[in-house]
Structure 1
Amino acid sequence: MIPTPIFDHKSLLTLNTNELPIFEDALPGVDAQPLFLDPHENVWVIRAIFKPGVVLPKHYHTGTVHLFTLSGKWNYVEYPDQPQTAGSYLYEPGGSIHTFMTPADNTEDTDTVMVVTGANINFDEDNNFVGIMDTTWFMQLFDTLVKERGMEPAKYITPSAHRYTTD
């Protein structure tokens, strides 16, 4: 017996990244495109395009990461002999600590898609805490960029709010 669907989807939940705006310099040297943001489960799926020479803060992952490299090249400062290039897939278990960078001599931008569960706890060069990046942080970032730049609201997939069964 086939199960009864829980949700009545009238159409697929799908996005075409070629048709969505890219938030240029969402972070210094990083263009970003939100694809799926779930603040309830703290899962974020972001397309991030890194310019050559970008170095992100050292960060600790509270959850897992799946990172797909579509073009370009990057590596962790801590693992310079393991560069990630077009076609690479990287899995990071929760508890990982590292510093993302794109080589300054890259001849192209580095285009990636990341599926992150949890948060990045960010640190400066002296290992002092500087902030947290999680789903809510990204939602606020994109909302702020929309307002500051006069853009249309970001279109991404997000689950419905929780509710009581009797509402």
Structure 2
Amino acid sequence: MALTAATHQPFLLTFNRHREGEIKDVVPGVHITPCFLDAEKGIWVIYARFEAGTVLPKHFHTGTVHFYTTAGSWNYVEYPDDVQTEGSYLFEPGGSVHTFSSKEGAEGFMVVEGSNVNFDENDNYLYIEDAGLIERVLHEVAKTTGQRMPRYIRPGRGAEFSE
């Protein structure tokens, strides 16, 4: 008996971030290539470039994060001695709280499950960042700045009955 796939793929879901490009300055100094955005399951996979001096808001993770640093260096303000450099892999459990900072600039690939709940420097709530918000913001920034929206993988939307 021949082995067959349970899910037929007429083509591979793959792209090259160098050819697809990125959305520049999604927030000042942060450039993002979306790879996979699934608002229903709360999963976002992105490649991000952070310019020197980037500091992001303090945030609480509702789910896990996998972050692989491909260039430069960065650390969490709360962990100044744990600097992530090229080749570093960081696992963050859900429930972690920290503030991203990169003095020299950094790049990396991240897989995030759930949301980031963002706070200002006085621990006041700012906003929730999830796959759906990221998708909307990327499209809006691309449209308003005249950038081409890179192609990315986006699973089907909406629940429906099976046949």
| Structure-2-length-normalised TM-score | 0.94
| Counterparts of 2:148 and 2:7, CA distance in 1 | 28
Question: Could you tell me how far 1:15 is from its partner in structure 2?
Answer: 1.3
Q: Does the 8 A contact of 1:64 with 1:117 survive in 2?
A: yes
Indicate conservation of the 8 Å contact 2:58/2:121, yes or no: yes
Structure 1 residue 130: Cα displacement: 0.3
Which residue number corresponds to residue 27 of structure 2? 27
Cα-Cα RMSD:
1.4
Q: 1:131 to 1:2 in 2, by over 3 A?
A: farther
Give 1:114's aligned residue.
110
Q: Secondary structure at the match of 2:54?
A: coil
Match of residue 80 from structure 1: 80
Query: Are the equivalent residues in 2 in contact too, given 1:69–1:86 (CA < 8 A)?
Result: yes
Identity of aligned residues (%): 44
Change (3 A) 1:102 1:11: same
How many residues are matched? 162
Distance in 2 (CA, whole Å) between partners of 1:3 and 1:129 is 52
The one-letter amino acid of 1:101's match is S
Gap regions ≥5 residues in structure 1: none
Does structure 1 conserve the Cα–Cα contact (< 8 Å) formed by 2:71 and 2:86? Answer: yes
Residue equivalent to 2:55: 55
**Using the alignment, how far apart are the partners of 1:112 and 1:2 within structure 2?**
40
Question: Does structure 1 conserve the Cα–Cα contact (< 8 Å) formed by 2:22 and 2:150?
Answer: no
Correspondence for 1:154 among 137, 150, 158: 150
Residue matched to 2:124: 128
Normalised TM-score (structure 1): 0.91
Question: Which segment is superposed worse, 18-27 or 145-154?
Answer: 145-154
Distance 1:132 1:98 in 2: 15
Partner Cα distance (2:5, 2:16) in 1: 25
User: Match for residue 161 of structure 2?
Assistant: 164
Indicate the SS of the match to 1:18: helix
Q: Report the Cα offset of residue 82 of structure 1.
A: 0.6
Cα deviation for residue 3 of structure 1 reads 6.5
Offset of 1:160 from its aligned partner?
1.5
Q: Do the aligned residues in 2 keep the contact of 1:64 with 1:91 (CA within 8 Å)?
A: yes
Preserved contact between residue 146 and residue 154 of structure 1 (Cα < 8 Å): no
Contact 2:37 2:45 in 1 (8 A): yes
